[in-house]
Amino acid sequence: MVRQHVNPLSRFFQLPLELPAPAALFSNAERPIHLDIGCARGRFLLALAQQQSEINHLGVEIRRPLVKAAEADRQALGLGNLHYLFCNANVSLEAWLLSLPPAQLDLVSIQFPDPWFKKKHHKRRVLQPALLRSIAAALQPGKRFFIQSDVLAVIEPMVAVSEASGCFSRPTGDARPWREGSPLPVPTERETYVLDQGLPVYRVLYERNEAPLPSLEALEQALEAADNSPISPPESS
């Protein structure tokens, strides 16, 4: 399975977009919201929205052709609890997240993000400190944040900056360092591909706790330290 990259730091993707409010996206805007950041072609959310009709699902993706194709599928099925939006999450999500009514955001997921292996490209990775801080600000205590990847060099900095924030705790009883299965009933396409190859998937589920937001500077320092740390050897789930 080949990943198709775009450079999120290019000028085109740095233009902020005003994202529609839930009332413009869903047939029932009062439902809890699951936000999937980097939803790719959207087939995972298409299946999940049909299983979880009581939840509104929003997929955001930086590759516009994938969003157009996913929206066509959604419209063909007439799903009022699902929508896809084109945007750069690190540029356009903060204002949208902060505009949500308290407690409406139920879950944020980032699954198998583009790895950007070269150190000089790490700033292109999706979970940057400002985005994590926005997620933490929008999630009320007890609400969930789920991350997974098949690349240790990607997931370990995500874990490090999430835990350095102090805003997230792992549910009691979850295995460490990686939980054994996904909390979601539908796998992504990448997840299915990786598991079919007999390769590991590294997963962590967090719950928002009551800790106050950290400074952006502290998160940037934590991520820089994580990027400079050696990668741990693979561990089985």
**pLDDT in single tens digits along all 237 residues of the chain:** 545 567 765 565 557 788 999 999 999 999 999 999 999 999 999 999 999 999 999 999 998 999 999 999 999 999 999 999 999 999 999 999 999 999 999 999 999 997 644 465 456 688 999 999 999 999 999 999 999 999 999 999 999 999 999 999 999 999 999 999 999 999 999 999 999 999 999 999 999 999 999 999 999 898 888 877 655 544 433
**In this structure, what are the phi and psi dihedrals at residue 205, rounded to the nearest 5 degrees?**
-110, 130
CA distance 212 to 133: 10
Q: Is 114 a catalytic residue?
A: yes
Cα-Cα-Cα-Cα torsion 14, 163, 182, 67, nearest 10 degrees, comes to: -10
Burial environment of residue 151 by CB neighbours within 10 A (0 to 12, 13 to 18, 19 or more):
middle
3-state class (DSSP) for residue 147: strand
Amino acid at 184: L
The domain over range 23-227 is classified in CATH as 3.90.105.20 = no
Q: Which of 114, 150, 196, 227 is catalytic?
A: 114
Q: What is the predicted pLDDT for the residue at 8?
A: 62
Q: What is the predicted pLDDT for the residue at 36?
A: 98
Query: pTM for this structure?
Result: 0.89
Burial environment of residue 236 by CB neighbours within 10 A (0 to 12, 13 to 18, 19 or more):
exposed
> Look-up: residue for tokens 């609890």?
81
Q: What is the predicted pLDDT for the residue at 120?
A: 57
Q: Where are the domains of the chain?
A: 23-227
Amino acid at 104: Q
CA distance 206 to 91: 23
